[in-house]
């Protein structure tokens, strides 16, 4: 069995790695045993990379947990037992885990414990841009942030030693550009820990009731003070001092993470990298106050370069005020760089040019260069979600009313766009049913309330809200889109598939049984293949018109997973074509259903099917009111 590059044991070997792969390699080198979490872009590849390593390093114990809170607790249970452990999630997942995280920080770590937060400036795959550096300030624990894939590997390896030395949890913050960027990484030695594992029954530490937590709070503050004193010697912080002046001004810069790497590129572009002072941070909280004061002493103006919130900027301004330097050193931050989005290369070049009095003009786009028009994200061809939302629209039309469709975050949220326009709310995981509980209390029965969410999302956080609906008799229909995959984050398995992260068989949790266990009566549960449009419409209409809490499970395997299975099993999907004589060009299939495989010719005013795109789901056959679309006989 050949090893993947990231599992290569050869120390000193240099390979190109994805940031998430580099993080996984660093976790392996640190001697971590337990890894748990929930898939969420941009952090999704870390645990699966470790799962591939498990074939060669069987000491690893990994899982996709049902949600981020459980994942954190699994990892923290390992730390309590003297095991190095890591919890992995995206930034909004830390919100879910924060109930356990905030209190666990009081007790601290026994075995090294790191929480990885994959932040997402620019909302590439998220519902917000929250800056999780503030969780360090909130929980009073250190925050590490790497700037390159190499540093990501080295820094997270160091984080576990640091965690054990100070008995502190570590928040390891990354951003999408680091997680999904690639770079050279030199491998280090794999560390297999030689220690005794086991729970230590220290009730005064692990039982966080008030009398214990008051004492633990004092120890937490002592740990933070110890870490603050060490911050100036933190090996991944560095300070470059320069007394040179540019147009009469001594400039200093402060940056961490990807912004530090991009800042260096911009300063090199103008040839001034050695003429300015630069404080590079790997430990972004608590701050290295001595280094910051040295930067103050060598600078007239300081620019804090950070994406999203003025986290470091506010820290520097506070220190300047405390040192009586507010009038002597001018500190820039969000007055120069925006407080939203991910910074492009042009933002650095333009803002530095404006600050230092350089000349910079954007390179114009040549007239002959093709400009790709903007395109809305859309559900995949053959996706069962499209069929379900189309069915919902058909029932709305038949009943001559409008539903309130409360949704979750997932692939299906793309149904908010034309032509389906089937989503009215989306806030967070599990929020579909939670919001529907409130909406149903005041909504007219003439406008049925539907809570729409995926299978993995239901396991994640839909169950408590469904129980709440049953308990409080809130009249609603829950539509579970069961595509047997956590598709939007990379097709990870979940309890509904019964396959673990290492692709070994687990125990499958049957949605129908779980729904019954939540108190929904058998007569109020319907199940149908999403791509059997006629039956879906028939059963879904009954579900909409029923009373009380009811559940419709719309089931069809994710079309991308299905097409891969077809390829692996050498199955040829059905061929679908359009009878050009029967097609009237009514455009219902294009304008109402919206599958990408359906093409309309302006020349002949007819629809045809792009065979390279079509997945053979056959739903368009039922959509066409002219009976012009058909399956070609094999």
User: CATH 1.20.1250.20: does it fit domain 572-631?
Assistant: no
Tell me, what's the pLDDT at 581?
93
Tell me, what's the pLDDT at 2?
62
- DSSP letter at 446 equals T
Tell me, what's the pLDDT at 428?
93
Alpha helix positions (H), 12-119 = 19-29, 46-53, 68-80, 91-107
Looking at the DSSP bridge assignments, the partners of residue 254 are 279, 304
**Residues sharing a CB contact under 8 Å with residue 357, sequence separation 6 or more, in sequence order:** 246, 247
Tell me, what's the pLDDT at 241?
97
Q: Per residue in 374-405, pLDDT tens? A: 777 889 999 999 999 999 999 999 999 999 99
User: Chain-wide mean pLDDT for the chain?
Assistant: 94
Quick one: what percent of the chain has pLDDT higher than 70?
Answer: 98
The first and second tokens of residue 523, run together, are 């007569």
Written in H, E and C, the secondary structure of 486-508 is EHHHCCECCCCCCECCCCCECCC
The CATH fold assigned to 238-356 is Rossmann fold (3.40.50)
Over residues 265-280, mean pLDDT: 97
In angstroms, what CA-CA distances link 434 with 65, 385, 406, 543? 21, 21, 9, 19
The CATH fold assigned to 5-233 is Rossmann fold (3.40.50)
The CATH fold assigned to 384-566 is Rossmann fold (3.40.50)
- Measure the CA–CA gap between 423 and 414, rounded to whole angstroms: 8
Do the first three CATH levels of 238-356 and 384-566 match, i.e. the same topology? yes
The first and second tokens of residue 26, run together, are 């660093």
| Residue 41 near residue 124, CB atoms below 8 Å | yes
The mean-pLDDT minimum among 64-68, 302-306, 405-409, 561-565 falls in 561-565
Whether residue 589 has pLDDT greater than 80: yes
Tell me, what's the pLDDT at 634?
66
Q: Per residue in 187-197, pLDDT tens? A: 999 998 889 99
Of the pLDDT bands very low, low, confident and very high (cuts 50, 70, 90), residue 46 is: very high
The mean-pLDDT minimum among 116-120, 350-354, 406-410, 484-488 falls in 484-488
Q: Per residue in 303-334, pLDDT tens? A: 999 999 999 999 999 999 999 998 899 999 99
What is the residue extent of each domain of the chain?
A: 5-233, 238-356, 384-566, 572-631
Quick one: what percent of the chain has pLDDT higher than 90?
Answer: 88
Over residues 341-346, mean pLDDT: 94
């Amino acid at each position: 069995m050949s090893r993947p590059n990231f599992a290569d044991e050869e120390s000193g070997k240099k390979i190109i790695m994805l940031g998430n792969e580099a993080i996984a390699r660093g976790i392996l080198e640190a001697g971590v045993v337990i890894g748990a979490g929930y898939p969420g872009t941009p952090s999704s590849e870390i645990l699966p990379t470790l799962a591939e390593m498990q074939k060669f390093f069987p000491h690893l114990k990994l899982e996709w947990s049902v949600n981020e809170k459980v994942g954190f607790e699994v990892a923290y249970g390992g730390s309590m037992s003297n095991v190095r452990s890591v919890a992995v999630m995206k930034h909004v997942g830390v919100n879910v885990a924060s109930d356990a995280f905030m209190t666990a920080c009081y007790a601290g770590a026994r075995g090294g414990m790191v929480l990885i937060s994959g932040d997402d400036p620019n909302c590439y795959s998220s519902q917000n841009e929250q800056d999780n550096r503030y969780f360090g300030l909130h929980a009073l624990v250190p925050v590490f942030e790497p700037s390159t894939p190499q540093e990501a590997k080295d820094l997270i390896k160091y984080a576990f030693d640091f965690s054990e030395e100070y008995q502190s949890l570590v928040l390891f913050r990354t951003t999408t550009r680091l997680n999904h960027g690639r770079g050279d990484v030199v491998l280090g030695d794999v560390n297999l820990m030689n220690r005794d594992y086991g729970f230590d029954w220290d009730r005064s530490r692990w039982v966080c009731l008030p009398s214990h937590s008051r004492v633990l709070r004092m120890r937490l503050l002592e740990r933070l003070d110890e870490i603050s004193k060490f911050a100036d010697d933190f090996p991944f912080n560095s300070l470059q001092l320069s007394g040179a002046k540019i147009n009469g001004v001594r400039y200093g810069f402060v940056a961490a993470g990807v912004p530090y790497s991009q800042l260096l590129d911009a300063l090199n572009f103008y040839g001034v990298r050695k003429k300015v002072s630069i404080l590079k941070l790997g430990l972004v909280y608590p701050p290295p106050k001595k280094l910051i004061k040295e930067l103050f002493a060598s600078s007239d103006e300081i620019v804090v370069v950070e994406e999203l919130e003025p986290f470091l900027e506010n820290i520097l301004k506070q220190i300047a005020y405390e040192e009586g330097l507010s009038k002597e050193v001018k500190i820039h931050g969000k007055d120069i760089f925006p407080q939203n989005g991910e910074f492009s290369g042009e933002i650095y070049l333009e803002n530095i040019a404006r600050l230092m009095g350089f000349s910079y003009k954007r390179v114009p786009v040549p007239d002959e260069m093709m400009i790709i028009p903007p395109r809305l994200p859309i559900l995949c061809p053959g996706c069962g979600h499209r069929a379900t939302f189309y069915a919902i629209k058909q029932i709305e039309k038949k009943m001559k009313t409008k539903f309130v469709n409360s949704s979750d975050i997932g692939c299906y949220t793309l149904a908010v766009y034309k032509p389906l326009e089937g989503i009215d709310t989306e806030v967070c995981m599990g929020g579909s049913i939670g919001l529907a509980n409130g909406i149903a209390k005041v909504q007219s029965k003439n406008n049925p309330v539907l809570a729409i969410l995926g299978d993995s999302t239901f396991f994640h956080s839909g169950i408590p809200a469904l129980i709440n609906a049953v308990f409080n008799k809130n009249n609603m229909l829950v539509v579970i889109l069961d595509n047997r995959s956590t598709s939007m984050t990379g097709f990870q398995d979940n309890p509904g598939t019964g396959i673990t992260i290492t692709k070994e068989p687990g125990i499958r949790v049957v949605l129908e049984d779980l729904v019954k266990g939540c108190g929904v009566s058998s007569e109020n549960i319907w199940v149908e293949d999403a791509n059997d449009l006629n039956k879906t419409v028939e059963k879904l209409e009954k579900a909409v018109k029923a009373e009380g809490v009811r559940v419709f499970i719309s089931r069809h395997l994710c079309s991308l997973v299905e097409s891969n299975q077809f390829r692996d099993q050498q199955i040829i999907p059905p061929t679908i074509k359009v009878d050009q004589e029967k097609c009237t060009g009514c455009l219902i299939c294009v304008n109402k259903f919206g599958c990408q495989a359906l093409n309309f010719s302006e020349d002949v005013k007819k629809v045809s099917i792009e065979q390279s795109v079509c997945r053979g789901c056959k739903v368009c056959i039922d959509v066409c009111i002219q009976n012009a679309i058909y399956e070609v006989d094999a």
